[in-house]
Amino acid sequence: MESRKIQKVGTSTLTISLPRSWATARNLKKGDQVFLIEEGETLKVIPASSIQDRRRAAEEYMIDADLCEGPGMLEQILVGCYVLGRERFTVKSATRLKSEYIEVTRRASRRLMGLGIIEETSSKIVLQCSIEPTRYPIDALLKRLFNLGSTMLDEAVEALITKDRRLAEDAVKREDDADMMYWLIVRLLLSAQLDDGLVDKLGMKSKLEIAGYRLIAKELESVADLGEEIAQTVCEMIESEVEVPSSLAKSLKDLTDSVRELYSRGIAALLSRDLKVASETVLMRAELEKKEERFTKQLIDQTEDLQLQTHIRTILHGIERMSEYASSIGVIAINRYLERPTNICHPAGT
């Protein structure tokens, strides 16, 4: 927190100077316009560009469905409007909306948190987003996204061992929830990029953290995608009545537990800013690679069933990718720790 003395200019005007670092970060120079907003005892200084961004987000956007001819284009545009922080957008047609466009729009309203249909006619659908950003701390959302991916992996492997297809199907269904969490996180992070006031309210120390959080959210969403892929493979194995030797299933469960532990440590290090745990997470990845190699050898030694080998290798590929993401999160946790001076790393002379 910096202090500024109030200066008097002329007979009645009071002024204070703006911190150089703050102005530089926002590309402000002499003659630029800023706006002052009173919020109780607080006076906020907002660059004109940020005000313009806020106004654009509050504007109603029109999406011409007749021009959305490519596969998935309308859905991509709806998600794009959502993550850009837009509050109101309308899907319209010059005639009658095609049934597939209506279904895509309704599905988007169910999959994107806070988005709802407030008006619908034969030629247009109006959507409104009512998200209150301060109710969703980023760390809590990341933890939720982590738990979804971890649960999907556990359910998929347990389903393989117990041959419980319904459990594997439950894991597949969780992927929609993971997508919902991911798009919400991206929306909030992009909103914080435009509005400095949201940075602290979302639980971040500074805007420097936004890029790291964006990367972590993407990796956690990718882990959930891998969990879905593994669960779908398990469904196929159960349906095809592929038999997995008990010793191989046990080794797979052990490998899965190790990956989940690595994954859990990476997130814990990030949220607690624990350098030691973060460092251990990165080092554990090398040990896990050895375990993955041993499992691959065991797979080759214990079965010549090509169908079984193909399915297990698909699962193993997903597990390997998960462990890579976990290690990457550990690296980001180390960088996050080093953003501020500490006893272990600080500017020379301090």
One DSSP character per residue, 222-239 reads HHHHHHHHHHHHHHHHHH
Identify whether residues 195 and 286 lie together within a single domain.
yes
pLDDT, the chain, mean: 88
Q: What is the CATH number of the domain that holds 105?
A: 3.30.110
**Does residue 176 belong to any structural domain of this protein?**
yes
Is residue 54 predicted with pLDDT exceeding 70?
no
Number of domains in the chain: 3
The pTM score is: 0.80
Identify whether residues 124 and 141 lie together within a single domain.
no
**Does residue 2 belong to any structural domain of this protein?**
no
Identify whether residues 125 and 60 lie together within a single domain.
yes
Burial zone of 54 (CB within 10 Å; 0-12 exposed, 13-18 middle, 19+ buried): middle
3-state SS assignment for residue 193: helix
* Chain centre distance of CA 126: 26
**Does residue 349 belong to any structural domain of this protein?**
no
Percent of the chain past pLDDT 90, that is, above it, reads 56
Is residue 39 predicted with pLDDT exceeding 90?
no
Identify whether residues 309 and 202 lie together within a single domain.
yes
Is residue 6 predicted with pLDDT exceeding 90?
no
Q: Which of 242, 229, 249 is nearest to 153 (CA)?
A: 229
Is residue 237 predicted with pLDDT exceeding 80?
yes
Identify whether residues 77 and 35 lie together within a single domain.
no
**Does residue 347 belong to any structural domain of this protein?**
no
Identify whether residues 187 and 284 lie together within a single domain.
yes
Please state, in angstroms and as integers, the Cα–Cα distance from residue 60 to each residue in 64, 76, 257, 273, 337, following that order: 13, 18, 48, 40, 41
**Does residue 59 belong to any structural domain of this protein?**
yes
Close Cβ partners of 230 (under 8 Å, ≥ 6 residues apart): 152, 153, 156, 157, 171, 314, 315, 318, 319
Tokens 């196929």 correspond to what residue?
236
pLDDT of amino acid 167: 96
**Does residue 350 belong to any structural domain of this protein?**
no
Answer yes or no: are the C-beta atoms of 35 and 46 closer than 8 Å.
yes
Identify whether residues 320 and 201 lie together within a single domain.
yes
Identify whether residues 59 and 40 lie together within a single domain.
no
Identify whether residues 185 and 328 lie together within a single domain.
yes
Last residue of a domain, one of 112, 129, 146: 129
Comparing 299 with 197, the larger pLDDT belongs to: 299
Mean pLDDT of 142-158: 94
Identify whether residues 85 and 162 lie together within a single domain.
no
Query: Given 3-state DSSP classes, what are the helix, strand and coil percentages for the chain, each rounded to the nearest 5?
Result: 65, 10, 25
Q: How many other CB atoms sit within 10 Å of the CB of residue 165?
A: 15
Last residue of a domain, one of 71, 105, 129: 129
Look up the domain containing 18 and give its range.
7-47
Q: What is the CATH number of the domain that holds 265?
A: 1.20.58.220
Is residue 24 predicted with pLDDT exceeding 80?
no
**Does residue 255 belong to any structural domain of this protein?**
yes
